[in-house]
Structure 1
Amino acid sequence: MAKSKALLRSVQQRQKGQWLRLNNLQYFGGKKTLFEYKQNMTTIGQQLQKVEDELADAAIDTSKSTEDIQALQKSRDDLKQRFDVIKEQHDQIEAEQRAKFEQQENLQTIKDPKQKVIEAKAEMVRSTMTGKPISNDVRQALGDNTDPSTGGEKLLPKTVSNQLIHEPFVKNPLRDISVFTQETNLEIPKIAFQLDDDSFIGDTETAKEMKATGDSVTFGRHKFKVFVPISETVLNGSATNLVATVDQALESGLSAKEKKVAFATTPATGEEHMSFYSTQNAIKEVNGESKYKAIKAAIADLHEDFRDNAKVVMRYVDYMDIIEVLANGNASLYGAQPEQVLGVPTEFVDAATDPIVGDFAYSHFNYDLQMLRDRDKDVKTGVELFVLTAWLDHQIKLKSAFRIAKVSTEPEA
């Protein structure tokens, strides 16, 4: 009898110690997490299995008394009850988290199209950062192809096309006047028509034919990367803040790159054709005694077909200098629209060191569709980086559609 009581006390002390260890976090550290409940279930389950094995051995051991078997049965029942309590708490928390997750992730339940796009883009960013595959619901919400053989590569570019190209956070004025597309291996035919003989057909002459001479503008791939720093707070926060952070940074990066290549006075090797100021493009320069006269002369020098759609891109400080000279103390001129002053619509870009006049429909930016999403981490700060790799090209389709207005000390021709 004493032996049975000692066995029971041993089992109970062992269970009590284990139970106190399992609940130590709850007593001193607050509410348990789902992971901790799983750990507790594993520990209690192992202990329960051990006692059940001991009970099975005792049942066939003739040296064990009835009291010994009853003590083990009581220990088993106690452990089973504790296991059931923990499992119930675990299942409840797991169900709550699953319901919350499904509510957040189920894009089909979102009725507002704009909100659905925001949620889908947020999930796309989170999936990229965690390495998780992007769901078909997200692809559909963003208008991506869900075919596994072709889907995925168009996920971000379609979003960029709708929201970055046309609604830039950092304004690139060329986006309002130049052409922007997203096509892979884009090639545009350039055709000019001319007559073999410019005179009319005589009675005995063979009919003169109009023939087309053509060339093409081929867009290349020039790779660059945009890095978007995302803190853990933003990544795990609301979808709206996450999407706003990523979109604003991407918009800024794309806009800055577009302006840099288009107005570079010393373009990088291989990027000379992108700049209005490069010697490779050799856009005609028109001189004048002042910026104002140079711009007027450049507009007049354009062919009339280009002049009808001409615009000026120049620095704001240069425009204010023109106004100061023309106003001559008259403040009313400061309130006039630039088009009233210069004669054509005007866009201001600080990078335009010399004013550019022309039909900007012949300035064409193309993004290759195969944009890539990736992630990186700054180990110094712990900030995650959302990385976009893009391929951009800028082609001036007709050099004759533009003029560069230059100030010269020499008299005008």
Structure 2
Amino acid sequence: MNLYELKMSLKTVGDQLKETENNIVAKAGDPSVPIEEVQKLKNKKMELQERFNVLKEQHDQLEDEQKASLERSKSKLDGVEDPKAKVTAAKAELIRATIRGRQLSEEAKAALGDRNSTGGEKILPTTMTNELLHEPFVKNPLREVSTYTSVTNLEIPKITFTLGDDDFIADTETAKEIKADGDVVSFGRNKFKVFVPISETILAATDTNLVQTVDQGLESGLAAKEKKVAFAKTPKAGEESLSFYGAGIKEVTAESLYKAIKAAIADLHEDYRENAKIVMRYADYMDIIETLANGNATLYNAQPEQILGKPVVFCDSAVDPVVGDLRYSHFNYDPQMIYDRDKDVKTGVELFVLTAWFDHKIKLKSAFRIAKKK
């Protein structure tokens, strides 16, 4: 019997009980009514009262269960007006729901811009994907200078314009490269996972603390992976084209790193030299300054561009300086990122897991040089 049926039965028995009580009073006050009839009514009242009590107990129990269920399903987003606070609460709900194996509320899905209408796959919502790609916690310096997109099966032309004649490309290296490799860059899908450990303490903490912990972990993982593959000296099999050092970029050598960088800049065609930057380790730059300064402190206060002739991007992963137009370094993520949960069996700590697919392409190798000391 459901709650509605119990309410109807409770009303019916309650009405009968009230009517019986009124009859007892009326007949008890009428001397012409035999006392036996009054006794029968009193017995009937006792029976109805017992029925009413049984129904009332069942009714109250079922009603409490329904209230508790509604309270559990009630989203924490109810009553939250501030858009940023609503997104934070929705992200916290997604994380907790994932770890505890529960469904995400419709309010949270709406706040996060959930793309998944079927409810089958755990696709990371739009809001979280955008933030992961554009608001890194651990910095990958290339994010400020390389090209970043999030398009499935992306294909783009290597050059951004064409002219009527076939010989418009002034740089013969570029012309040869396009002839050899084609004029279209196709991005692949390289799968990797980021694991963020979440303790019970963090899971029970405020929405803000929980979201910050998970966001920082995921952002750090993505940025670290980007740097790792882009500057891998010995890339994994199949990932050679992701690395500046494995993509077949021309190397320029000299007796010192300073002269190698200068020569690499000069070796670029003017189309690329105009927007060229240098990606190098800070330690290598300080070695150059120390050599050039020769006891003179003035150079230590100069901007790197004044010393090397081009803007410098410091990255400790750049073992050999990369010189070139970094707009031709292109990272592309598949927007269909997937989230899930796992458990570290060694520690018992819950893990929030992100599965992502991305690719890094050097759109034109001729736009870059690797500077190396002999």
- TM interval, short-chain normalised: 0.7 to 0.9
Give secondary structure in 2 for the equivalent of 1:223: strand
Structure 2 partner of 1:273: 241
Aligned to 1:250: 218
RMSD: 3.3
Matched, 1:331 2:301: no
1:319 and 2:285 matched: yes
In structure 1, the residue matched to 2:76 is 104
CA apart distance, 1:217: 0.6
Higher relative CO (CA 8 A, sep ≥ 6), structure 1 or 2? Answer: 2
1:172 equivalent among 135, 140, 147: 140
* Mapped pair 1:145 → 2:94: no
Residue 124 (structure 2) pairs with residue 155 (structure 1): yes
Q: Does 1:290 align with 2:256?
A: yes
Unaligned runs of 5+ in 1: 1-65, 199-211, 409-413
The aligned residue for residue 342 of structure 2 is 376
Shift of 1:239: 0.7
| Equivalence for 1:394 | 360
Structure 2 Cα separation of the partners of residues 146 and 216 of structure 1: 31
Change (3 A) 1:181 1:333: same
Deviations 1:340-381 (A, max 9, x none): 221211111111111000011000111112211111112332
Please list the CA deviations of residues 291-332 of structure 1 after superposition, one character each: whole Å capped at 9, or x if unmatched: 111111111111111111111000110001011112222223
Q: Return the alpha-carbon distance in structure 2 between the equivalents of residues 119 and 171 of structure 1.
A: 26
Alignment of 1:11-410 (within 5 A): 91=64, 102=74, 104-106=76-78, 109-145=79-115, 147-148=117-118, 155-156=124-125, 158-161=127-130, 163-191=131-159, 193=163, 195=165, 215-278=183-246, 281-408=247-374
Identity of aligned residues (%): 61
Secondary structure of the 1:325 match is: helix
| Letter of the structure 2 residue corresponding to residue 251 of structure 1 | E
Provide the secondary structure at the position in 1 that maps to 2:86.
Answer: helix
After superposition, the Cα gap between the structure-2 partners of 1:167 and 1:254, relative to the gap in structure 1 and judged at 3 Å, is same
- Residue 44 of structure 1 is matched in structure 2 by none
Aligned-partner Cα distance in 1 for 2:126–2:223: 15
Report the alpha carbon displacement of residue 338 of structure 1 after superposing the two structures with TM: 1.5
Residue 146 of structure 1 deviates from its aligned partner by 6.1
Query: d(CA) in 2 for partners of 1:173 and 1:104?
Result: 37
Aligned partner letter, 1:355: P
> Hey, what's the Cα distance between the residues in 2 that align with 1:103 and 1:129?
17
TM-score by length of 2: 0.75
Aligned residues: 317
TM-score scaled by length of structure 1: 0.69
Equivalents in 1 of 2:317, 2:167: separation in Å? Answer: 46
Query: Retained in 1: the 8 A contact 2:330–2:363?
Result: yes
Q: In structure 2, the residue corresponding to 1:241 is in which secondary structure?
A: helix
Change (3 A) 1:316 1:240: same
Contact 2:113/2:126 (<8 A) preserved? no
> Residue type of the partner of 1:406?
K
**What is the identity, as a one-letter code, of the residue corresponding to 1:215?**
D
Task: Name the aligned partner's letter for residue 104 of structure 1.
Answer: K
When residues 229 and 170 of structure 1 are mapped into structure 2, their CA distance, relative to the original with a 3 A threshold, is: same
SS of 1:382's equivalent? coil
